[in-house]
Structure 1
Amino acid sequence: MRNMGTEPVKSVRVLTPSGMLGAGWDHATIERGIALGADVISIDGGSTDSGPHYLGSATAKTTAKAVARDLRSLFTAAAEAGIPVIVGSCGTSGTDRGVDWVAGIAAEVMAEEGLDLTVAKIYSEQNAADLKEHLNAGRVHPLPPLGELRAETLESCTHIVGAMGHEPIVAALRAGAQVVLAGRATDTAVAAAYPLMMGMPAGPTWHAAKIVECGGQCTTNPRAGGVLATIDADGFTIEPLDPTVSCTPITVAAHMLYETVNPFEMREPDGTLDVRDARYTALDDRIVRVEGSKFHVAGQYTIKLEGARVTGYETMSFAAIRDPLILADIDAWAELMRTMIRQRVGQTLGLADGEYAFDLRLYGHNAVLDDLEPESGPPREVGVMLLVNAPDQATATAVAKVANPLMLHLPAPGMDYLPSFAFASSPAEVERGAAYEFVLNHVVDCDDPLSLFRIELRENTRA
């Protein structure tokens, strides 16, 4: 392996091939990044973007074959170059099961390729009982818009993770890891860990990490592959790995608008990135130089908690409408549908409103923007999605079945015949299983950045 922080360096090059492990890329872009002198490969393995299901169920949104394909590309290139690979938020949500899942795939890939890399697994899942001790000690604080955390909320979660900063990753690298498979981590910590370990300043490092977190999204063609960031004492440069694509001051600066409350600030466990004075300069038609980024160390180190719990069980059905008489006033028809469902469910199943819930979404009309939809006039066709939530799967499906004749034949007010609609599938009812919701948006005060995380190292047996 190359110098791991034992000697001072003037710059560090971070190769980020994509915004997420499993998304895929052209291996030629990885080879180009290695040829340009990459010192580390970092990639995010997950996100909360896809909703609470993946955390609540501890399952991945990516398929194992896609993850294996990407790890093969990374491991073969990194092993030949002698540089580490860092993956954050393994298994989409960073649960312990997600880390082990990616580690199992990684082991298979290395065996197939004849590689024996030292692997560190960093677990970020949290125990409700331990968190209640922190809560009782006054070390847990809410983030807007949530209020004070209750112990019952912790107990109701199926899985809770803490979003680690760069420190556990650095600890794993210093212990000799050539591959770091981290649980839930901030997207930026994955890219910032190695440069910070090598002595690069916090301002440029965290800013560069933010820009590269989504790979090529900061370029003129996000589909073309990843980027290479070169961080030094005064700032950083960033260039695409595809030679036909460009970074511009606008595409780079604009990424600070992505997933941030404030486009000039970004909070990490140990402080806040401040880019108010950052200057973005085009060095040529492909490469951008950034200087002036600052990092303000916080008075208290904090770890953000994410938790999800079951809210019930869902059954869905979907029908398509193209009848012009109904589409002429689809909102009136939808309101009638809601009324009829409540009446029929009460009559047939004896359920009151509080014992189940349903949502009727009109795709092609206002399902995306609802009351904010600017267009007026009747749509040409509408897809009607009925989503039922109940305390158990059988009840959710029973409600959907009661609604079935209405989803197929309900006439609009004033119609003197039964129209026919088209179900998307047979059977019409699709059981979706448990539904989850995020319930934690809180931070824990920590005196030790490593205290909430556990590192396991598998030694390289050929070393």
Structure 2
Amino acid sequence: MENRPAGPVRILTPVGMLGAGWDEATMERGLALGVDVITVDGGSTDSGPYYLGSGTAKTAAQAVARDLRSLLRAAARADVPLIIGSCGTSGTDSGVDWVAGMAAAIMAEEGLDLRVARIYSEQSPAELKEHLDAGRIHPLPPMGEIRAETLESCTHIVGMMGHEPIVEALQAGAQVVLAGRATDTAVAAAYPLMKGMPAGPSWHAAKIVECGGQCTTDPRAGGVHTTIDADGFTIEPLDPRNACTPYTVAAHMLYETVNPFEMREPAGTLDVREATYTAVDDRTVRVEGSRFHTAERHTIKLEGARVTGHETMSFSAVRDPLILRDIEGWADLLRTHLRRRVSQTLGLTDDDYAFDLRLYGHNAVLDDLEPETAPPREVGVMLLVNAPEQATATAVAKIANPLMLHMPTPEMHYLPSLAFASSPAEVERGPAYEFVLNHVVDSITPTGMFRIEHGDTRHGDIRHGDTRHGDHHDTNDHG
């Protein structure tokens, strides 16, 4: 007789990202449907390298605390585990401690006694250089081979964990797991995998629920409830006015994946080529036929960011029809005059600074792919200057100020007056960051690059500009 898992696993995912909020009525309905684990993703790389590089959260502390209070109450009431991944947006150690500190304060206020585990995912450059020297670090397209200097230049490096560290924390008795950087899917797949559910449905369901209501007809209406069993999974929205359809559920495999039929995780690859999507009723979908192929080599993806300089921004707006008739020509003229004036007044060469001029309302979003050719009605002109020192970036932006305010076209016999969005016009943005790692490490063990701590939580803060290297061991951004 076939050895089958003991029973289904029910997952409650109230929102796509911690801090985004939800109607408490949807949480109540999720609990009423029955739940074995509550899972929420806490972060992403979607908003760029700043949050990883600076160790700063994208979400407001008040918003995270509000959601966390609701989650802790629900987990205690249902007596089920709560799993949160990529704490503090980018999953830095300070991000885990930040959420853990909130959890400790909330549990003290609410009189809750839940065992908390913290999983740290930051990587030290020294240990990564050992992996590099041993030939265990490999680039993902379009990156090339990595150098030790690149590792040392990063302010923060995190490893993107799979489900294994989360399972280890749960098996050690954790009721609340606060994880550093993790694949979005690992957060939801860990518990059903631990309970013996098949890998195909577990990983596929986890992919579909990762963004909460994104797989529904109304993504703004809250999260979803998923039941995984030996043959597949069933999914429905928490809001009874919302619906999942075969189309909305299947379409989510297009989201943040290179191949809509495959998705790589540290342990292997989800394969949905043979998956079927069937409407159970007008708001519930049944999925069967998902497969998971275990990889010959378990890998951990690295994410790292470093400072590229300091930025100053200016933003003006153009509504003059003569300028807008050839906005590209006007922008090219501005670039030419700015370089000449910077050389004359500051003595800088092109290698000493950089700037980008973006024309919003014309082609700032699509650039050369913009299909519209008619003259725009108005254009916002955004200047971003990058230089090694903040003072230099601001000086360049100040030199650009009269050009962005009054520069005419060659055909104009007067000085136009354009409009700055702020006063002062120059906004200092501080350090600018870039992603420099898109590489994977061959795992010695699936949990070896991560450190799990149980017990008293730390009352940590995420500080602006925290650039300490981690001492501890996206999106489904795993290669």
- TM-score w.r.t. the length of structure 1 is 0.97
| Corresponding residue number in structure 2 for 1:207 | 204
Which residue in 2 is equivalent to 1:74? 71
Match of 2:99 in 1: 102
Greater than 3 Å deviation, 4+ residue runs: none
Aligned to 1:30: 27
CA distance in 2, matches of 1:295, 1:156: 37
User: Which amino acid is the alignment partner of residue 68 of structure 1?
Assistant: A
2:443 to 441, 446, 461: 446
Q: State the Cα distance separating 1:116 from its structure 2 match.
A: 1.8
Question: What pairs up with 1:67-216 in 2 under 5 angstroms?
Answer: 67-216=64-213
Q: Which runs of 5+ in 1 are unaligned?
A: 1-6
Give the letter aligned to residue 31 of structure 1: E
Aligned partners of 1:260, 1:162: CA distance in 2, in Å? 19
**Any residues of structure 2 matched to 1:277-292 within 5 Å, and which?**
277-292=274-289
- C-alpha displacement of 1:8: 5.9
Q: What's the secondary structure of 2:264's corresponding residue?
A: strand
Q: Which residue of 2 aligns with 1:259?
A: 256
Q: Give the counterpart letter for 1:82 in structure 2.
A: D
Aligned to 1:45, the other structure's residue is in SS state: strand
Offset from partner CA, 1:79-113 (integer Å, 9 cap, x none): 01101110000000000011011111111211221
Identify which of 5, 10, 14 aligns with 1:17.
Answer: 14
User: Hey, what's the Cα distance between the residues in 2 that align with 1:400 and 1:142?
Assistant: 37
**Deviation, structure 1 residue 77:** 1.1
Which residue matches 2:432? Answer: 435
Aligned residue identity for 1:399: V
Residue 304 (structure 2) pairs with residue 323 (structure 1)? no
Percent identical among aligned pairs is: 80
**CA deviations over 1:40-72 (Å, ceiling 9, x no partner):** 010100000000000000100001000000011
The answer to whether the 8 A contact 2:5-2:197 is kept is: no
Contact 2:10 2:36 in 1 (8 A): yes
| Alignment-derived partner of residue 3 in structure 1 | none
Report the 3-state secondary structure (helix = DSSP H, G, I; strand = E; otherwise coil) of the residue aligned with 2:415. Answer: coil
Query: Matched residue of 1:94: which SS?
Result: coil
Moved more, 98-107 or 451-460: 451-460
Aligned to 2:59: 62
Moved more, 141-150 or 185-194: 141-150
Q: Hey, what's the Cα distance between the residues in 2 that align with 1:179 and 1:417?
A: 67
Find the counterpart in structure 2 of residue 413 from structure 1. 410
Computed over aligned residues only, the root mean square deviation of the Cα atoms, in angstroms, reads: 1.1
Q: What one-letter code is carried by the residue in structure 1 that aligns with 2:63?
A: A
Q: Deviations over 1:131-162 (max 9, x none)?
A: 00000001111111111111111011110000
Q: Which residue of 1 aligns with 2:50?
A: 53
Counterpart selection for 1:312 from 303, 306, 309: 309
Letter in structure 1 aligned against 2:315: F
Deviation at 1:9, TM superposition (A): 2.9
1:381 aligned to 375, 378, 381, which one?
378
- For 1:319, the aligned partner's letter is S
Separation of aligned partners in 1, 2:77 and 2:211: 25
Amino acid at match of 1:74: L
Structure 1 letter corresponding to 2:22: W
Q: CA offsets, 1:19-46, max 9 Å, x none? A: 1000000111111111111110101000
TM-superposed CA distance for 1:298, in Å, is 0.6
Displacement after TM superposition at 1:378 (Å): 1.0
Q: Secondary structure at the match of 2:249?
A: helix
Distance in 2 separating the partners of 1:27 and 1:186 = 27
Q: In structure 1, what is the Cα distance between the partners aligned to 2:390 and 2:150?
A: 23
Report the Cα distance in structure 2 between the residues aligned to 1:49 and 1:405, rounded to whole angstroms: 35
Count matched residues. 454
Provide the rounded CA distance (Å) in 1 between the counterparts of 2:137 and 2:14: 36
In 1, the alpha carbon distance for the partners of 2:360 and 2:145 equals: 37
Higher relative contact order (Cα pairs below 8 Å, separated by 6+ residues): 2
Deviation per CA, 1:215-269: give whole Å up to 9, x if none. 0000010000000110000000000000111100000000000000100000000
**By how many angstroms is 1:447 displaced?**
2.5
Pick aligned residue for 1:332 from 301, 324, 329: 329
Moved more, 26-35 or 201-210: 26-35
- Paired with 1:192 and 1:379, the residues of 2 have a C-alpha distance of 48
Unaligned 5+ segments in structure 2 are: 458-479
User: Equivalent residue for 2:241?
Assistant: 244
Q: Does 1:303 align with 2:300?
A: yes
d(CA) in 1 for partners of 2:110 and 2:413?
Answer: 70
Q: Does 1:235 align with 2:232?
A: yes
